[in-house]
Amino acid sequence: MEGETFLWLIRHAPVDGAAGTIHANDAPADLGDRAQLEALRRCLPRNAASYASPARRTVETARALGLDAVLVPEFGEQNFGDWTGRRHDELAASGGEAYAQFWSDAARGRPPGGESFEDQVARVRLGLARIGAGPATLVVHSGTIRAALCIALDLTPQAALRFVIDPLSMTRIDRLATSWRVGSVNQRIS
């Protein structure tokens, strides 16, 4: 790929739904933190390309930031398959061995009918390859940002899962000619 790419990765606003739930793609965003949205909007580059996961919460967050984002399926959150829509505490109590086994190796484990974090990293790599040179804003999920950090820092997927990525935080990474540069991770703008 020719030229350098400068990425502003924004995690979507909190989900307007029950905490501790593995939310489906149609879960709405809670856009009540107008001050944080405005602070983020002010620090985003003007005239940058903008992209988002096709999930409702990322699309709503992108719109609240004034972005007309191109939807990129590769930037979707990890697919939790049959566990989507269920609460973690419920799965821990009734999920049997599969749930416990998943968390013993969360990078390689696959929920029933879902994908592993390693699968998500491979998918995000394909999405990042589609972004051309110049500035770009991505409104995505915590797992997508962890996957991008995994790629940029050449980490194992297991190590990348250690990053905390809060709602409405910004992570800055740049794809240079022959390497990557990380400017910030999980930054809260005020």
Compute the distance between CA of residue 12 and CA of residue 24 in angstroms, rounded to an integer: 14
Q: What angle do CA 62, 68, 72 make, to 5 degrees?
A: 75
Cross-sheet strand order for the sheet of 5-11: 70-71, 49-52, 134-140, 5-11, 170-175, 180-187
Q: What is the CATH number of the domain that holds 11?
A: 3.40.50.1240
Q: What is the DSSP letter of 178?
A: S
Q: Please name the residues in contact with 190: beta carbons below 8 A apart, sequence gap of 6 or more.
A: 35, 36, 39
Q: At what angle do helices 117-129 and 142-152 cross, to 10 degrees?
A: 70
Exposed/middle/buried for residue 70 (C-beta within 10 Å: 0-12, 13-18, 19+): middle
How many domains, in total, are found in the chain? Answer: 1
Tokens representing residue 62 in the block: 């992108």
Per-residue pLDDT of the chain (190 residues; tens, 9 = 90+): 578 999 999 999 999 999 999 999 999 999 999 999 999 999 999 999 999 999 999 999 999 999 999 999 999 999 999 999 999 999 999 867 889 999 999 999 999 999 999 999 999 999 999 999 999 999 999 999 999 999 999 999 999 999 999 999 999 999 999 999 999 999 999 8
Residue 98 phi/psi, 5° resolution? -60, -40
Helical (H) or strand (E) element with 8: strand 5-11
**Domain span holding position 26:** 5-187
